[in-house]
């Protein structure tokens, strides 16, 4: 299994593309698409379980991360406004899924952080987009935000040398904060993509700052650097957003 892991990882990304392309073109057929996606996610999770066992790196939180990545990609796919963008997204998703599958089981800080940010990006855009098009399910979205942030954060903190209680408190607190900000942000008169970016920046900042804090390496210089990075991202989106078209 270990010898063929790279090939299987690429096939996993390719199957994700095929499933979405097959049942969502030209129009999505939900009664086929959702069961097909769930079957693919279950099969990949079973493979990941066996692979992690074979390399002696099995951990429930490591197993959860690829599933979160698939769900984030699946939700983000529906927000693509054109067939060309959907095609570009699917090609990109093949690369991302293959890469993180190849790196499955890695405990490298940079790998975990980048994967967490990719998942959070798709997750927040998905929830804000769903609320924009179907606002009647706000309670479910709030619960989904909390659960997703908790699982993602807890899995990111798994390999930090701290007690389980500390990790659970950190993940739960961040989950509540993100759910509250999601609820409050939907009262603002902005496009859902901008609101999603605001929440993403908030999550990114809190995740990284708490990560440094748990490692006892948090200082003002790091705080200043990440605040500046957040400000640049928000200003760039404000400048590039076509406000006249939106209004």
What are the counts of helices (DSSP H) followed by strands (DSSP E) for the chain? 10, 0
Same domain, 97 and 114: no
pLDDT at 173 (0 to 100): 93
pLDDT at 239 (0 to 100): 67
Same domain, 75 and 168: no
Same domain, 94 and 132: no
Rounded CA separation 3/23 (Å): 32
Same domain, 113 and 84: no
- Tell me 230's DSSP state: H
Give long-range contacts, CB 8 A cutoff, 24+ apart: 168-177.
170/210, 170/214, 174/149, 174/150, 174/203, 174/206, 174/207, 174/210, 175/145, 175/146, 175/147, 175/149, 175/150, 176/146, 177/202, 177/206
pLDDT at 136 (0 to 100): 85
Same domain, 77 and 132: no
Structure confidence by residue, pLDDT tens digits, 74-117: 888 888 777 778 888 888 899 999 999 999 988 888 888 889 98
Domain boundary among 106, 121, 154: 106
Structure confidence by residue, pLDDT tens digits, 170-200: 999 999 999 999 999 888 877 888 888 889 9
Domain boundary among 53, 77, 106: 106
Structure confidence by residue, pLDDT tens digits, 203-223: 988 888 888 888 777 777 777
Residue 244 pLDDT exceeds 60: no
Range of the domain at 148: 107-247
Q: What's the whole-number mean pLDDT along residues 28-42?
A: 84
Same domain, 245 and 124: yes
Domain boundary among 106, 129, 159: 106
Total domain count, the chain: 2
Residue 143 pLDDT exceeds 90: yes
Same domain, 102 and 133: no
Same domain, 88 and 137: no
26: confidence class by pLDDT, cuts 50, 70, 90: low
Same domain, 128 and 72: no
27: confidence class by pLDDT, cuts 50, 70, 90: low
Q: What's the whole-number mean pLDDT along residues 126-150?
A: 91
Question: Do residues 66 and 13 touch, judged by C-beta distance below 8 A?
Answer: no
Q: What's the whole-number mean pLDDT along residues 156-181?
A: 91
Percent above pLDDT 70 for the chain: 91
Question: What token pair was written down for 71?
Answer: 């769900």
Average model confidence (pLDDT) for the chain?
A: 85
Same domain, 51 and 139: no
Structure confidence by residue, pLDDT tens digits, 114-129: 899 899 999 999 999 8
| Residues 216, 219, 225: CA angle, nearest 5 degrees | 125
Same domain, 197 and 123: yes
Residue 145 pLDDT exceeds 60: yes
pLDDT at 68 (0 to 100): 94
pTM of the predicted model as reported, rounded to 2 decimal places: 0.88
Same domain, 131 and 210: yes
């Amino acid at each position: 299994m270990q010898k063929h892991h790279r090939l299987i990882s690429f096939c996993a990304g390719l199957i994700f593309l095929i499933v979405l392309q097959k049942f969502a073109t030209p129009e999505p057929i939900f009664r086929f698409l959702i069961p097909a996606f769930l079957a693919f996610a279950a099969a990949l999770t079973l493979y990941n379980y066996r692979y992690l066992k074979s390399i002696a790196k099995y951990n429930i939180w490591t197993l959860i991360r690829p599933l979160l990545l698939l769900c984030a990609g699946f939700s983000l796919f529906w927000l693509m406004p054109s067939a060309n963008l959907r095609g570009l997204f699917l090609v990109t998703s093949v690369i991302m899924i293959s890469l993180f599958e190849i790196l499955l089981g890695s405990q490298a800080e940079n790998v975990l952080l980048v994967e967490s940010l990719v998942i959070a990006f798709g997750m927040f855009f998905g929830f804000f987009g769903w609320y924009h098009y179907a606002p009647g399910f706000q309670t479910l979205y709030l619960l989904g935000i909390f659960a997703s942030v908790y699982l993602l954060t807890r899995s990111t903190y798994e390999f930090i040398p701290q007690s389980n209680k500390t990790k659970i408190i950190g993940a739960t607190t961040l989950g509540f904060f993100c759910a509250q900000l999601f609820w409050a942000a939907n009262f603002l008169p902005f496009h859902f993509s901008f609101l999603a970016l605001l929440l993403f920046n908030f999550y990114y900042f809190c995740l990284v700052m708490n990560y440094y804090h748990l490692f006892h390496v948090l200082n003002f210089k790091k705080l200043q650097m990440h605040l500046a990075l957040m400000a640049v991202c928000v200003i760039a989106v404000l400048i590039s957003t076509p406000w006249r078209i939106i209004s």
